[in-house]
Structure 1
Amino acid sequence: MRNELLNLIRNTILYRYDLPHIEKDISNSVFSTENDKCYETSDINSLSEIIYNSIIEYSLSNLDFEKNEFEKLHAIALKTKLKYNELSSETIKISHGFHGETVLFCILYAILNSKPAISRGYFYNPLESSETKGYDSYHLIENNGTTELWFGEVKFRTTHSSGIKSALDSIEKAISDDYLASNFLAMTNFKNSFNIEGTKIEEIIRNWEDNPVVDIIEEIKKHNLKLIYPIVILYNKSSDGYDKSIKNAISYIEERYSSLNFKLSIPYSIYFIWIPVEDVRQIKLNVIEWIESKKPLMS
């Protein structure tokens, strides 16, 4: 990742506190197996800059890009990976998933130090008109002998309720052996583009290709892998302030949902990352305007 972009992320997406927070009387979500994390943004223009500039790293392979290639790669990513069409309506442009997915990518990479195993753009199917299938991120960490697979999700909506509902409506599917297996097997199609040399994932893929009748989940278990599933929710901040924005989101979950027993047989962690922002719509409109005016990119 470009140093200027890395610094912008760390100076824009700012940690506030973990949940539960006893002094503020805010719990974490009933789904979370560890502390939720609460962040704020320094300003909406900087967050828009992060989204606009990180399209390259989010969409394309993990390479050291040459400075004179940025504009070209940005255009390639928009046309071949993100399904961006300047002739689409404003409503369709605003609804594009990449606005949130780039933020998830940047948080995992720059703040939580989880490097991408493979860029999300590899899962794009040019023959499909719908959003790219699968998890919203594919990152990994080698952590004290355990390989952590970071397969997160993100929702970037005007209200906390809309983002939460959309995320939780599919959580049982996402935290399951079947879904993990299908995503893991999809990753094998791009193994030569992975940043996994010398990792357990490389060994699992090699073993499975040598004996594809083996259950991929059983192979994952043998190698002490763990699934980390952060759920990032970006939404408009309450007029009553930052803390109230967080309380509203947690209360919404408490009032409408109960915890679930997920059908996943490997160790896993789930938690929310809450990011109330000033103006969701304007952030996305900034990105759209800059895409179409071809605003110069960071070097």
Structure 2
Amino acid sequence: MTTISPVFESDLILDEYIAETHFRGFSVGYEDSEYRYDALVELIFSALTDFSLTEKEKSNINPFNAQRKLKKAAKVIYATEKYSRRGEFGEILLHIIMRDYFNSIPAISKMYYKDGANETVKGFDAVHVVPIGKELELWLGEVKFYNNMAKAIRDVLPELQAHTNKDYLRSEFLFISNKVDDTWEHAENFLKLIDGRISMDKIFSKIRIPVLLTYDSKVVNSYRDACEDYKKELINELHKHHDTFRGNDLPKNVEIILILLPIEQKAKLVQNLHDKLRIWQQI
């Protein structure tokens, strides 16, 4: 269910065409017969500090250090011209959707723990929690920021199997537990949730895995406005990809939520994002 007050107000940019318990489908649509690249770029950059900085750093942002914090948030994304296949912007998109549509709260900023400016961070692409009463659900996100749906599904499947392995999760939880900001309000309960002494059976029951897949869409490329025919064809396309995804051998011990975001041209979106990132890195 969509939160009443989305953190990033992404509902102003993203049209949610499918809103099922384990399946969400979005589109950004068009403006003046053009795909809304600028709107999507602005949405992604609105989440940059929330995605990149630690809880302590975010709580200390003020009018005097805001520019410096923004610059740091931009610099930890990457600092390379070999950016076409990097997935950080896809991770920010997942971060936004998890926050705005599933009411999640980030547990750690994995960008902050890179070993180098252009290193990629291993493990899950998002580590969030969703408070349910006095308990916490653990939301571990996966992203394939691709232009081809078949390849996105092909590449995410082995990661889902590997990342839901008991031994892998134990190792990942150990890494995560050492990175939790002790000023975070959920730190104590979160650390109890992933404590190595707890049975994995209990932990598995509280794990949700949102999987965001992007792709260059034939339907999006065939229209210039979000007319009724567009909506009908896009929904059909989204359901087709969902059926293909679910037709594979998926982990049975956790809940998986598929999130699809069709794009006109992922390459053009990435170029626009890169150009804006370079500007932010120099402010």
* TM bracket (short chain): 0.7 to 0.9
| Alpha-carbon contact 1:5-1:53 (below 8 Å) kept | no
Name the residue aligned to 1:74.
70
> Aligned partners of 2:251 and 2:203: how far apart in 1?
23
User: Could you give the per-residue CA deviations for residues 166-193 of structure 1, whole angstroms, max 9, x where no partner exists?
Assistant: 2113111111212221121112212335
Q: Is 1:11 equivalent to 2:1 in the alignment?
A: no
Q: What corresponds to 2:78 in structure 1?
A: 83
Distance across 1 between alignment mates of 2:163 and 2:263:
26
The answer (yes or no) to whether the contact 1:117–1:196 under 8 Å persists in 2 is: no
Cα separation, partners in 2 of 1:132 and 1:14, compared to 1, 3 Å: same
Helix, strand or coil: the match of 1:192?
Answer: coil
Aligned residue type for 1:83: Y
Moved over 4 A (4+): 220-225
Corresponding position of 1:170? 159
Give the corresponding residue for 2:227: none
SS at match of 2:144: strand
In 1: Cα distance, 2:173 partner to 2:281 partner: 37
Are the aligned partners of 2:138 and 2:208 in contact in 1 as well (CA < 8 Å)?
yes
Is 1:134 matched with 2:135?
no
Distance in 2 between the 1:68 and 1:155 partners? 37
Counterpart residue identity of residue 253, structure 1: F
Does 2:239 match 1:269?
Answer: no
CA drift of 1:155 comes to: 1.3
1:109 equivalenced with 2:92 (yes/no) = no
1:95 aligns with 2:85: yes
Q: Give 1:223 shift.
A: 7.6
Query: Quick one: which amino acid aligns to residue 172 of structure 1?
Result: Q
TM-score normalised by length of structure 1: 0.75
CA shift, 1:73, in A, is 1.9
1:7-86 superposed matches below 5 A: 7-18=8-19, 35-42=22-29, 43-62=36-55, 63-64=58-59, 65-79=61-75, 81-85=76-80
- Quote the offset at 1:228 in angstroms: 0.7
2 CA distance for matches of 1:38 and 1:115?
Answer: 21
Question: Once the two structures are aligned, what percentage of the paired residues are identical?
Answer: 20
Note if 1:231 corresponds to 2:206: no
Give unpaired runs (5+ residues) of structure 1: 20-33, 209-214
Question: Please, what is the CA RMSD of the aligned residues?
Answer: 3.0
Measured in 2, the distance between the counterparts of 1:130 and 1:198 equals 26
1:200 Cα offset (Å): 2.5
